[in-house]
Structure 1
């Protein structure tokens, strides 16, 4: 539990806290399990502080000094760590879901078991010598990396993984996908980002009804924002098309569900000749079933994946 006196001083403001730290440089502040959600902690001095299991969601920690701080199992969802110093910090088990961390220094930090779902980091330059055996991509702790639960990262693997993640955004559709809605909404997404190129890198079938569409994006863009906007545009387009199916094609609920179920089966695409464009398949299929077709900017089929012009199909 946090030291009540330490909490009282912190609640007096960052300036007061930092002055107190200057006068007591050898004292280790105990803020373990403290609820600091939404706190404004800009440039706070948390050097060597015990913040284990602390709640720091939505906290402003920009330019904070967290050197050698104990942040094990801390909850940093939606926190702002821009330009913060986390060198030598203990972050094992911490949740950094949607955390903003451009410019943050993680050198020699222990990042084993952290969750980095939709986090935003600007580069891998400050990931030198991190300790990291594995990470989680989802807060539910179901998507572990390294590649399986019996293996751990080799030195440098985490930085490589982060570098790859800087260039990609994964859109996950766990209940199948309406291809028509997706390609139309993807076109809208590209228009929104103008001259910043966003491409489809791969489409994967996870064999449980889940599709993962991997987008290749400029590394300096906010990946979480792209993902949220892409899914919002898709859902809007899906509902628009569903209304169109009802009003124009006069489809009933069971027919719309029939169409959804058909769209779930990516293996139908894989049965086509290699290199046949997706849009030809979707267009002919929708026309055949419902008398209406559209053109799509599509990609190509290779095995159980559909890949774009940038042929990067290796597993993460």
Structure 2
């Protein structure tokens, strides 16, 4: 009986009779996930939006597998083959990629943290976005198609992304609310040392604000507080926003 069990880094390779166990409220209740953990063969299989927190997939073949929107936080992916895998918007807090192969993986908007491990990762190149019918540019890194990452270089390449707070906006972007919300967040958390390092318009109704933070900053808390303020401001009438600006003695250009 494994119902409600906490299964962190548990090895199910070549396990038998799991189909007869009681597996409710664990990642094992999904037959596709059970098969993956028992066989470690997940090539070309779609695991999008699956809750895979804490799974042990050491040495697994995950070539061209899709984990878009999945949660692989604290998963053991040591020496796994993730060549060409889709890790788009995948949650990877504390995930261990030590010795894994990531060549050709798609890593657009993946959520890595300072606890994500990239020691001795084998990766010649990655793609920063998925191609679309309107835009086939995959944003390969390194940019020069004649260059590849040497062994261990990918970890150095990806490291600067660790200490940034990425704030994604969609559905009726309000520049005024963005400016006020970020200013208030910076004032409330001087210890986070927030500094805007990038802004990117994505399509007609999507916007990314990227800010550098202190290594010790709690990005989850900062993001939640920022969007609580932002959503509140969006709901205010324009006159109320102007009054708030005047009260804080600031102006939005």
Query: Is this a same-fold pair by TM over 0.5?
Result: yes
The 8 Å contact of residues 15 and 38 in structure 2, kept in 1 or not, is answered as no
Q: For the Cα contact (< 8 Å) 1:41–1:64, is it kept in 2?
A: no
1:48-88 Cα deviation digits (max 9, x unpaired): 62111222223232332211212122221232323222112
1:40 and 2:27 matched = yes
For 2:219 and 2:140, how far apart are their aligned partners in 1? 19
CA contact (8 A) 1:51 1:71 kept: yes
User: Partner of 2:195 in structure 1?
Assistant: 200
1:121 aligns with 2:112: yes
In structure 2, what is the equivalent of residue 65 of structure 1? 56
Partner of 1:182: 178
1:156–1:62 CA distance, 2 compared to 1 (3 A)? same
Is the Cα–Cα contact under 8 Å of residues 57 and 80 in structure 2 kept in the other structure?
Answer: yes
TM-score by length of 2: 0.64
- Partners of 2:13 and 2:218 in 1: CA distance: 36
1:228 Cα offset (Å)? 7.4
Deviations 1:249-272 (A, max 9, x none): xxxxxxxxxxxxxxxxxxxxxxxx
Are the aligned partners of 2:95 and 2:116 in contact in 1 as well (CA < 8 Å)? no
Equivalent residue runs for 1:268-279 within 5 Å: none
Q: Is 2:98 the counterpart of 1:102? A: no
CA distance in 1, matches of 2:231, 2:115: 33
What is the count of residue pairs matched by the alignment?
228
Quote the RMSD (CA, aligned, Å). Answer: 4.8
Over 3 Å counting, the alpha-carbon distance change for 1:220 and 1:83 in structure 2 is farther
TM-score, reference length from structure 1: 0.53
State the partner residue of 1:144. 139
Unaligned runs of at least 5 residues, structure 2: 18-24
Corresponding residue of 1:5: none
